[in-house]
Amino acid sequence: MKKSKSIILVISIVVVLIAGLSVATYFILKPLFGEKDESNISPITKQLTEEEASKVIAEVNGEQILYKDFYFIYSQQAAYYGLTTEDEDSLSDDTKEILNTIKKELLTQLIQQKLAKQKAKEAGYEVTKERLDEASEAIEEMIRNMAEQMKLSSPSEAESRDFLKEARDFINSELKAMRITMDEYIRDTAEYMIVTDFMEDLTKDIVVTDEEIKKYYDEQLKIQQENPEEAAYAEVQLIQPASSRVKHILIALPEEEQQEYQNLKSEGKDEEAEAYLKEKLEAIKPKAEEVLNKAKNGEDFEALIKEYGEDPGMESEQYKDGYTVTKNSGFIKSFEDASLALGVGEISDLVEGPYGYHIIKVYEKTEAKPYTQEEKKSEIESLLKSQKKTNFMNEKMKEWESASTIVRHDDLL
């Protein structure tokens, strides 16, 4: 089971508008909301006053950058770290210093974004009606995806809640708080698209040679073989980790009990949370033991999943063959440990977790082994090309900045 509020394996989602793309993505601040790992999405951004929103915090060749442009990304960056924008006064001096550094970096990115837009316009890249329509549809798709993730987080409420409306209301409330209209948001998204096209055209002739790919593969494979614990976090993973393909029967705690456990953990009440979980697991243990006995006595595991399992992921097309579990792959530790310890065909005892009890069966196992260079050629080429593009754009941005008139007001952030 993944470490997610949702029972099924979904991507961990946060409301991260971060537009941004640092140098590695060519200084463009991408104005798209991400998704939030909550079944009840609530506002995270304080309402800006008109005066706050219209403060000029920088000028690039005479074009203004307003505080609301900065706040648009800063509030979402704060949310990524679990803060609201009203928390700053209660933070330690060290944390405030870190946030000040982040603020200055975000302003730098906004300045670079403005420069990139100016250069794209000079090169003839314009926002057309077609681009605006494309941007509008991209935002609609993002809202639909957010609604779907909310639905996955609260499957029992699928009939009683209008998740699409909730997602749309959330986006609108966040934009309103930042004094950004939907039309402005659509235009920002369209501008991101054309600047992306501009940057891609600037770097389209950059290539990676076979010799560079081989050099990277040989050097990185040696490093990953010498440091297997870190191999899973490499930019290109060259060692296929040992894995188990498993299916499981989840005897689930009620959703409100799962949520209460998570609430206690988020409040730092770990001991109280574990005691609460133990008590609630005890209440469903008789049912879990009954199902476990059936599985151990040879009853059809697939049929038991259908009859007793409460993980919607086991019914999804994506995971019809089960979950592939590797070390440090994001599953809860008890689930991961049991999955990797079992042999093919073996069934676990009851495995405790924050969602309930798991009864796990291993269907297939693979041992750790290196990927061949050919298997990873495309990934390596993509990484090296991205690095070359980044270096190219770093130099290009330095040229643009040195030839521009830039005024910034960090004290207003």
pLDDT tens track, the chain, 413 positions: 544 333 222 222 222 222 333 333 334 445 444 434 444 444 556 788 999 999 999 999 999 999 998 988 888 777 776 666 566 677 778 878 888 888 999 999 999 999 999 999 999 999 999 999 999 999 999 999 999 988 887 877 888 899 999 999 999 998 998 888 999 999 999 999 999 999 999 999 999 999 999 999 999 999 999 988 788 789 999 999 899 999 999 999 999 999 999 989 888 899 999 999 999 999 999 999 999 999 999 999 999 999 999 998 898 888 999 999 998 888 999 999 999 999 999 999 999 999 999 999 999 999 999 999 999 999 999 999 999 999 999 999 999 999 999 999 999 99
Q: What's 254's DSSP letter?
A: P
> Which residue range is the domain that position 218 belongs to?
210-238+372-381
Pair (258, 345) in one structural domain:
yes
192 and 217 within one domain? no
Domain-embedded: residue 149: yes
Taking the C-alpha atoms of residue 80 and residue 100, their distance in angstroms, rounded to an integer, is 16
Q: What is the CATH number of the domain that holds 342?
A: 3.10.50.40
The C-alpha angle 397, 399, 405, rounded to 5 degrees, equals 90
Residues 42 and 162 in one domain: yes
Q: Which long-range contacts (CB under 8 A, 24 or more apart) does 47-52 make?
A: 47/176, 47/177, 48/177, 48/178, 48/179, 50/179
Same domain, 225 and 89: no
Is there a single domain that holds both residue 31 and residue 69? yes
Q: Is 70 exposed, middle or buried (0-12, 13-18, 19+ CB in 10 A)?
A: buried
Let me know whether 92 and 28 are in one domain: yes
Per-residue pLDDT at 404: 98
Residue 83: per-residue pLDDT:
65
Which helix (H) or strand (E) element contains residue 134? helix 129-153
CATH of the domain at 197: 1.10.4030.10
359 shares its domain with 277: yes
- Same domain? 105 vs 44: yes
- Which distant-in-sequence residues (6+ apart) come within 8 Å of 282 by Cβ? none
Q: Are residues 79 and 60 in the same domain?
A: yes
Q: What is the pLDDT of residue 67?
A: 94
Q: What is the count of structural domains for the chain? A: 3
Q: Are residues 291 and 304 in the same domain?
A: yes
pLDDT for position 268: 86
Tokens at 202, concatenated: 């600037």
